[in-house]
């Protein structure tokens, strides 16, 4: 499971990240068909990596090659509702 990176105050996510984030959410139902129960990495409105696990090393390598933060998303095979 990827480690969560907390942004420092001086860090700012580029606009391209938010475009990819929006695109990912709009296409989530399509991702469920191909990437069910997998992690995906999205860059420039494309899935650039996927797998059952996404190691910290692989995420770091993808981010370094992209030159900016990628959208990393776990695609659930079915909706889950939590009850309290």
Decide if 59 is inside a domain.
yes
pLDDT of residue 17: 93
d(C-alpha 20, C-alpha 43), whole Å: 6
In a domain, 47, yes or no: yes
pLDDT score, position 44: 94
Note the pLDDT of residue 38: 92
Structural domain range at position 29: 15-75
pLDDT at 69 (0 to 100): 86
Q: What is the pLDDT of residue 80?
A: 67
Structural domains of the chain, count = 1
Block mean pLDDT (10 aa), the chain, length 84: 60 88 95 93 93 78 83 85 69
Specify the pLDDT at position 47.
Answer: 94
Strand order in the sheet with 71-75: 46-51, 38-43, 71-75
3 within a domain of the structure (yes/no): no
Q: Say which residue the tokens 């391209």 belong to.
A: 16
Is 80 within the bounds of a domain?
no
Domain membership flag for residue 57? yes
Is residue 51 a contact partner of residue 72, using CB atoms and an 8 Å limit?
no
Q: Is residue 20 part of a domain?
A: yes
At residue 53's C-alpha, the angle toward residues 84 and 56, to 5°, is 100
């Amino acid at each position: 499971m990827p480690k969560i990176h907390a942004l420092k105050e001086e860090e700012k996510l580029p606009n391209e990240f938010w475009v990819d984030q929006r695109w990912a959410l709009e296409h989530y139902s399509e991702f469920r068909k191909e990437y069910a129960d997998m992690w995906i990495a999205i860059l420039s409105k494309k899935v650039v990596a996927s797998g059952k696990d996404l190691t910290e090393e692989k995420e770091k390598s993808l981010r370094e090659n992209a030159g900016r933060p990628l959208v990393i998303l776990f695609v659930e095979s079915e909706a889950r509702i939590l009850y309290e």
